[in-house]
Amino acid sequence: MNPPAAAVTNKWLVALTVILPTFIEVMDTSVVNVALPHVQGSLSAGVDEVTWVLTSYLVSNAIVIPITGWLASVFGRRRYLVFSIVVFTLSSLLCGAAQSLEVLVIARIFQGLGGGGLQPLSQAILLEAFPVAEHGMAMAVFGMGVVLAPILGPVVGGWITDNWSWRWVFYINLPVGILAIALALLLIHDPPYIRKARPRVDKWGLLLIAVGLGCLQIVLDKGEREDWFQSNFIVMLSLIAVASLVAFVIVEWRGDHPVVNLKVFRDRTFAAGNGIMFIGFFCLFGGIILLPLYAQNLMHYTAYYAGLVIGPGGLASLFIMPIAGLLMKYGVSSRRLLTIGVATMAYSLYLMSGFNLQAGFAAISWPRIVQGFGMGLFFVPLAASTYVNIPREEMGNASGIFNLLRNLGGSFGVATAATLLSQRSQFHQNFLVERVTPFHPGLQQYAAQMAANFPGEPVFAGGPSKLLAVIYQEVQRQAAMLAFNDIFWLFAWFTAILVPLTFLMQPPKPGGPGAAPPGAH
């Protein structure tokens, strides 16, 4: 029996209600990146100071995400959702109007606190609004927000900053936020099992997760700039992060009223799904951060054309995600789709490892398109099947953990890619310059030959020393190119390792929350 038309309409309105603020919130993690130079000049800030505009948002965001389920149980899911959108919208207004860096950073902290709960809340609400058989479609809708938003962020932010002002990067959140608040008040309702109770506050859990995740996010965001463990600041924060998070796990596992219930990891499918998500986004975002650097620094693309290199991959994901949801609805195994998605992502990174300095636009953008298709087949079945054995009462808690590990995977991937790029470039440069000296017979012979062939060219007329400077610039480009190849190749193998891990994902347990009801087909 088909559900009535009103029910179908309602679930799609619910999807629109939760995905609107989620999309704009996730995009805010990356949309500001390209506007930082403009913010720096407008507010007279230094390079290190202005990066706190990014770090403050990421830290506050990371702290709220895992405790969203607990906050929803205390205040009610609908009330907490509306409150989060209100805080995010008002702080966006304050960000755009900020006349000093200090005010902007404080506003970004509140923006992160308000926006942090939107991802897990949206996912939990979608999984309940759609029937179990359509969870794949629900996660396709969710994936369009959380996967596409950070990819489109730099393109949107660059266009707004160039054509309007960096302040409009924040002001564009206002109409979306107002619309989302109105829709949430009209359409979102708390399920019966959510009680606005007053449970005992897990003070130690809240303190340890705030300190641990806050320090960890600062380390990941600032580590490469501070030369990692050569900096006492990074060492100190790393020790605090490790000690706090280890203590947090112990306290939460033993506690009667944990702020984050870690016992959901007893389910093998949930544990495997989170591990696959962490490594998958580690490689995805590590690779995505490298592509514009390669296109702009080595291929001399403009920011706009570098964005166009990434854009087709987002369109491919947008195309394939609904198809993946429909395939799951009509009985295609989510594990089979996940395996195909992982293998496709690994193959796309392998293609990227073959980039060179003569590659054309099509040769660079094609692997990104392949990656986009793989990403759609990766995220949708994984997000839908990870929760198959999780009770509805734990859905908010579980989605908070899942989204935290997804974000942390991306942060670790970006930090790792940036560090490896610097280290591998230096390694290859040291190897390549061994024979690039003014006294090398081959170089002297080449300089003399070029001077004879092009007598009016100043570079060749200057002899080996003048020519050496030009060659050294090319050596740096070649070394950087080899470094990009190394990192893409490494990420390809990391992704390929996930293929056997997909077989750890189990079907729903008989009678469990993800099992089909009796008589269902």
Q: DSSP readout, 218-282?
A: HHHHHTTTTTGGGSHHHHHHHHHHHHHHHHHHHHHHH-SS-SS-GGGGGSHHHHHHHHHHHHHHH
- Least confident interval from 18-22, 136-140, 275-279, 338-342: 136-140
With 90 as the cut, is the pLDDT of residue 485 above it?
yes
Alpha-carbon distance of 403 to 116, in angstroms, equals: 10
- ∠ CA(220), CA(222), CA(228), 5° rounding? 80
Rounded to the nearest 10 degrees, the angle between the axes of helix 395-432 and helix 118-129 is 130
Query: Which CATH number do you get for residue 354?
Result: 1.20.1250.20
Compute the average pLDDT of residues 187-196.
Answer: 72
CB 154 within 8 A of CB 307: yes
Given 151, 175, 199, the domain boundary residue is 199
**Is residue 517 in a domain?**
no
Assess contact for 249 and 209: CB atoms under 8 A: no
Decide if 514 is inside a domain: no
Residue 513 is assigned to a structural domain of this protein: no
The rounded distance, in Å, linking the Cα atoms of 426 and 25 is: 37
Both 397 and 448 in one domain: the answer is: no
Find out whether 290 and 309 touch, Cβ atoms under 8 Å.
Answer: no
Q: The tokens of 231 are what?
A: 């900096």
Task: Return the closest-CA partner of residue 370 out of 332, 342, 390.
Answer: 342
User: Is the domain of 272 the same as that of 137?
Assistant: no
Is 486 a residue whose pLDDT tops 90? yes
Contact yes or no for 324/137 (Cβ under 8 A):
no
The reply to whether 215 and 280 lie within a common domain is no
For position 198, what pLDDT does the model report?
55
Question: Is 404 found in the same domain as 471?
Answer: no
**Coil vs helix vs strand at 518:** coil
Q: Which amino acid is at 231?
A: S
Residue among 126, 122, 168, 169 at smallest CA distance from 146: 122
Considering the domain boundaries, does residue 466 fall inside one? yes
Q: Is the residue at 336 inside a domain?
A: yes
Q: What is the DSSP letter of 440?
A: -
**pLDDT higher for 26 or 347?**
347
334 SS3 class:
helix
Amino acid identity, position 45: A
Pairwise CA distance, residues 175 & 179, whole Å:
6
Alpha-carbon span 385 to 408, nearest angstrom: 20
Q: What are the tens digits of pLDDT across the range 432-478?
A: 777 666 666 766 676 666 666 666 566 555 555 556 666 777 788 88
% of residues, the chain, pLDDT over 70: 84
Residues of the domain holding 218: 200-256
Give the pLDDT band (50/70/90) at residue 519: very low
Same domain, yes or no, for 47 and 181? yes
Q: Is 228 exposed, middle or buried (0-12, 13-18, 19+ CB in 10 A)?
A: middle
CA–CA–CA angle 88, 177, 63 (5° rounding): 25
Whole-angstrom distance, CA of residue 290 vs CA of residue 13: 37
**Could you tell me if 359 and 386 lie in one domain?**
yes
- Distance CA(299)–CA(359), nearest Å, equals 8
Whole-number pLDDT of residue 9: 44
Mean pLDDT is lowest, of 161-175, 412-426, 499-513, for 499-513
What torsion do the CA atoms of 452, 454, 457, 458 make, to the nearest 10 degrees?
-10
Same domain flag for 125 and 56: yes
Q: Which residue has the higher pLDDT, 248 or 227?
A: 248
What are the pLDDT digits (tens) for 44-82?
Answer: 776 667 777 777 888 888 888 888 888 888 788 888 899
Q: What is residue 130's DSSP assignment?
A: S
Tens of pLDDT along 285-340?
888 878 878 887 888 877 667 767 777 787 888 888 888 888 888 878 888 889 99
Count of domains forming the chain: 4
Residue 92 CA to residue 118 CA, distance in Å, equals 15
What is the C-alpha to C-alpha distance for residues 219 and 225, in angstroms, rounded to an integer?
A: 10
Residues 82 and 211 in one domain: no
Q: Are residues 348 and 286 part of one domain?
A: yes
**Distances, alpha carbon 109 to alpha carbons 41, 77, 448, 482, in Å:** 21, 22, 62, 39
Task: Clarify whether residues 284 and 389 are in a common domain.
Answer: yes
Predicted confidence at residue 24, as pLDDT, reads: 83
User: Of 234, 256, 278, which marks where a domain is finished?
Assistant: 256
Regarding whether 218 and 190 lie in a shared domain, the answer is no
Residue type, 71: L
Within a domain: residue 519?
no
The percentage of residues in the chain with a pLDDT greater than 90, rounded to a whole number, is 13
Do 464 and 347 share a structural domain?
no
Query: Which H or E run contains 411?
Result: helix 395-432
- Over the stretch 91-109, which tens digit does the pLDDT of each residue have? 999 988 888 888 888 898 8
Radius of gyration of the chain (CA): 25
Q: Reduced to 3 states, what is the DSSP secondary structure of residue 450?
A: helix
**Structural domain contains residue 66:** yes
Measure the CA–CA gap between 498 and 374, rounded to whole angstroms: 13
Q: Token digits for 242? A: 């490790």
